[in-house]
Amino acid sequence: MSLDFHSLALTGVTRTFGRRRALHKVSLRVEAGELVVVLGPNGAGKSTLLAIVSTLLAPTGGDVRYGDYTSAMGAALRARIGLLGHDLYLYPELSPAENLRFFAGLYGIDRVEERISMALDRAGLSDRRDDPVAGFSRGMRQRLALERALLHEPRLVLLDEPFTGLDDAATDALVGRLRQLRASGCLTIVVTHDLDTVDGVADRALLLHRGRLLDVANEGEPLRERYRAALAHAPQPAAGRL
């Protein structure tokens, strides 16, 4: 079943783990062609937010809508989501081509070998296509994982720390790729600490602080300064527990 959507809307999304509250009434709307950066200190709930949006985690409260659909659409909805996690979701015993071929199979992608070759070209790994991923550096794995996440041309792209381990050339290439995703109408959410890198790429920056989502000023000083200002003015709840 083919399914498409042009907006993502979170309304009052809350997630608790036992007595710990990871997200508290988070509301967010992202439109097609928009790139949103989510910032925040460690443990703020950023990865939990991505897990909920990717349907891996069910919210304790609130509502997540993908256009007119919900996560109840199951596999058809998941086919339109691409997730790059902090862990890279790659099998180290397999080669890049084998990893991509496996996931291409799961996503029912056609012209598999052609698209694998293109993905490996973009990742700069064409000459290592048959080597086990176990021998790759973090940056090489990161580039391959990005291609894995985008292999099926998802509508909703979720990237958790995508710049980790990348050198300058690869970082520039990824920034270019993010611009392409935006231009092609993808809904893109990037969780990152690389403020200088995403400054100027993102349409909006949001601060996730102690499970609450706060706006970061969109104009003026560099993003790093705006982030610091937003963090300084963030409300300080007693603790992130119920």
Partner 1 sequence: MSFVRAAWLVVRKDVLIEARSREILYTTLFFAVACVLVFAFGFVNEGRPITDAAPGILWIAIAFSGTLALGRAFERERQHETLRALMIAPVDRPALYVGKLAGILLLLAMVEVVIVPLVALLFHAPLFTRPLLLVALLAGGTTGFAAVGTLFAAMLVRARSRDVLLPVLLYPITIPVIIAGVRGTAALLQADVDVPMARAWISMLVLFDVVFIVLALWTFEPLMTE
Residues that bind partner 1 (CB under 8 A): 51, 54-58, 75-79, 81, 83, 85, 87-94, 98, 102-103, 105-108, 132, 148
Q: How far apart are CA 179 and CA 138, in angstroms?
A: 23
Measured CA distances, 190 to 39, 53, 123, 127, 187 (Å): 9, 12, 19, 29, 10
Collapsing DSSP to helix, strand or coil, 38 comes out as strand
Give CB contacts under 8 A, 24+ apart, made by 174-177. 174/146, 175/201, 177/122, 177/146, 177/150
> Considering beta carbons, is residue 106 or 183 the nearer one to partner 1?
106
Using DSSP, state whether 184 is helix, strand or coil.
coil
Residue closer to partner 1, measured from CB, 99 or 197? 99
**Shortest spacing between CB 221 and partner 1, in angstroms:** 36
CB of 55 to partner 1, least distance (A): 7
Cβ proximity to partner 1: between 152 and 209 the closer is 152
CB of 190 to partner 1, least distance (A): 17
Long-range CB contacts (within 8 A, 24+) of 91-94 = 91/133, 92/132, 92/133, 92/134, 93/132, 93/133, 93/134, 94/132, 94/133
- In the complex, minimum distance from the CB of residue 141 to partner 1, in angstroms, rounded to a whole number: 10
124 closest CA partner among 72, 166, 62: 166
To partner 1, the closest distance from the beta carbon of 163 in angstroms equals 19
**Cβ distance to partner 1 smaller for residue 88 or 178:** 88
Q: Which residue number, 3 or 175, has a Cβ lying nearer to partner 1?
A: 3
